[in-house]
Amino acid sequence: MSARRASGGFRARTVSAAVAAAVLAFSATACAAHAPAAPTSAEVISSSHSPDFARHLPAIERWASTRNAHVALAVIDRETGMYVGLNDVDTIFTASVVKLFLAAELAHRDSVGERESSADDRDALAQMLSFSDDFAANSLWNEFDGAAAVASVADRYGLASTYGPADGMWWNTQTTVADLATFYAEFLEDFDDVGTRWTNRILDHLHNWSPTATDGYDQQFGLTAAIDSSELVAVKQGWMCCINAQWIHLSTGVVGPNNRYIVVVETSEDVQYPDGSVGLPDTSHTDATDDESAAHARETITGVVRALFSEVDTRGGR
């Protein structure tokens, strides 16, 4: 667990370099916090400083463990410079969140004149980000030599723990929640100098997320289920099953007035059914929306976000 205040801006290398030190610096006494019941609704308070996200982390971790889930999360308060992380440098798989990197690479190549984007590209971008369309992602991944594109984005944004997939499958790209938070922070500042034409276009697609993905999966989990839709500036969800017999869900995005909070949450949860079944859903062949283990995992990541923001009024920015 980690909590720290960033010193000046959110340059990628500054954020990433400080994460490991923050993990060691966070007080171990936080682990004595009382574990909550399953989180339900938010209790709004007002504050003149950054919310104390860190105090919820031990209880969140314990609650998730009762659901056979592991949690990794990172939060940046862009107004105060506060960074909070839980298991934030653990390696995770991106699933569909890698589509952010493909969008960034498309914007970069267009902005530097390497490859002018077409109307078809822009249509594919909208489908890939708002509907998490895999076919659109496949097209860009293949054209951009996917792993090379991931490496290019990681280099430009200073994502030291982000790597292309060993098997060439985009959903198996590896990263950390700290790197994903860094990416969002740098993208909001247009660190790559792609211009507002591109940053606004991408943020608009992320803002206009669809409740149902192209493949039929329910995208209403995590941020989209726990935070009022009027406060969701940008959202990118990710999910897949079943590496190590676990559901992986990611809920990432920007929340609150003036793009105040960057939030990245990942949960890895054992596939589990009420009747004790041991079968594993194959998300490459079915959307699995009605799968009971998938629903349980979506409820877990939603509960994590609700607990994290239980004392934050996102409408007022605190």
pLDDT, tens digit (0-9, with 9 covering 90-100), for 220-268: 999 999 999 999 999 999 999 988 999 999 999 999 999 999 999 999 9
Domain extent at residue 143 = 2-308
Provide the whole-model pTM: 0.85
Q: How many CB atoms sit inside 10 A of residue 94's CB? A: 27
Q: Is residue 317 part of a domain?
A: no
Q: What is the pLDDT of residue 286?
A: 62
Q: Is residue 63 part of a domain?
A: yes
Average pLDDT rounded to a whole number, residues 299-312: 94
> Which comes out higher in pLDDT, residue 279 or 22?
279
Instruction: Calculate what percentage of the chain has a pLDDT beyond 90.
Output: 74
316 backbone dihedrals φ, ψ, rounded to 5°: -100, -5
CATH number at residue 242: 3.40.710.10
Q: Is residue 165 part of a domain?
A: yes
Q: Give the span between the Cα atoms of 58 and 40, in whole angstroms.
A: 17
Q: What residues contact residue 27 under an 8 Å CB cut-off, 6+ apart?
A: none
Q: Is residue 113 part of a domain?
A: yes
Q: Is residue 283 part of a domain?
A: yes
The rounded Cα 64 to chain-centroid distance in angstroms is 17
Q: Give the span between the Cα atoms of 263 and 252, in whole angstroms.
A: 6
Q: Is residue 156 part of a domain?
A: yes
Confidence of residue 50 (pLDDT cuts 50, 70, 90): confident
Confidence of residue 315 (pLDDT cuts 50, 70, 90): low
Q: What residues contact residue 291 under an 8 Å CB cut-off, 6+ apart?
A: 281
Q: What is the pLDDT of residue 291?
A: 86
Q: What is the pLDDT of residue 78?
A: 97
Tally the domains of the chain. 1
pLDDT at residue 28 above 60? no
Residues 104-161: tens digit of each pLDDT: 999 999 999 999 999 999 999 999 999 999 999 999 999 999 999 999 999 999 999 9
Q: Is residue 268 part of a domain?
A: yes
For 162, the 3-state DSSP assignment is: coil
Is there a contact between 72 and 8 (Cβ–Cβ < 8 Å)? no
Instruction: Calculate what percentage of the chain has a pLDDT beyond 70.
Output: 79
Q: Is residue 186 part of a domain?
A: yes
Q: Give the span between the Cα atoms of 242 and 143, in whole angstroms.
A: 27
